[in-house]
Amino acid sequence: MSQYKNASELNNLTLGKATEYTSQYQPSLLQAVPRSLNRDELNLNQTNLPFFGEDVWYGFEVSWLNTKGKPIVRIAEFRFPCTSPNIVESKSFKLYLNSFNQTKFESEQEVVDLMTKDLSQTCGTKAEVNLFPVDNCPALTIKSLEAVCIDELDVEMDNYQLNPDFLKLTENAETVDESLVSHLLKSNCLITNQPDWASVYIQYSGNKICHKSLLQYLISFREHNEFHEQCVERIYFDLMEHCQPNSLTVYARYTRRGGLDINPLRSSKDIKASDARTPRQ
């Protein structure tokens, strides 16, 4: 369990509390969580981060009314740079999107502009919003990244508390450039303890990481409580700390909850997150 469980920044969040839903546009529903909550613990300097990255969210329950009262339904893509001072708290995000449901807008562009403004104010820097027709959305295309799946390795586990000491290099110190994936990543929400499921893609170059040790490390998140973005940053930090690769990218595709999925990417390279997804995403 992370030590910032009872941080004062979390006191006013609605997560885990009974909430009244509104279907009239209400930007004040959005709530911010400082990224410093876990970055301070990892000794990361917000103004000089050791990685590039972004958090890509997809909204599957986005709707509003046109001026004639006819519903419009879209798939939404939201992109937040990892340099933003805040993340958007996920329950408040769901409530905010729900507030569009019975609100009339002049055009789709008006909706995009409002969402961009509101989300940028919440995260503290420029957010990007894209809307797609339900039947023509790249985010819904099932396509996999080229990676070796390590899930069938025979490992034994009897403790499911986060343990970065699992991470080890192979004994022969072979230098490689490889892409790995595990679909076994599970963590729990920092406050509600609800399970979060993800496929995590790890691409690196450098001394070869022992695949069994990596799988054990990822499984050790199973009873760990932390937000999606924080888990990915922790994986990146632990791999850098324990395995010291020359380059590293960690990208997690989480399953959706409440019509939203969150997909953080952290990399030593300045790259964009892929829209690849498995059927469960």
Active site residues: 189, 196
Provide the β-strand partners of residue 75: 132
Residues 6 or more apart whose Cβ sits within 8 Å of residue 281: 199, 253, 254, 255, 256, 261
Phi, psi of 145 (to 5 degrees): -80, 150
- CA–CA separation, 22 and 48 (whole Å): 39
Residues 6 or more apart whose Cβ sits within 8 Å of residue 166: 213, 214, 216, 217, 220
Q: Do residues 2 and 38 lie in contact, with contact meaning Cβ atoms separated by under 8 Å?
A: yes
Q: Name the residue type at position 30.
A: L
Q: Which pair of structure tokens corresponds to residue 52?
A: 């590039």
Q: Which pair of structure tokens corresponds to residue 234?
A: 């922790």
- Tokens 């990007």 locate to 128
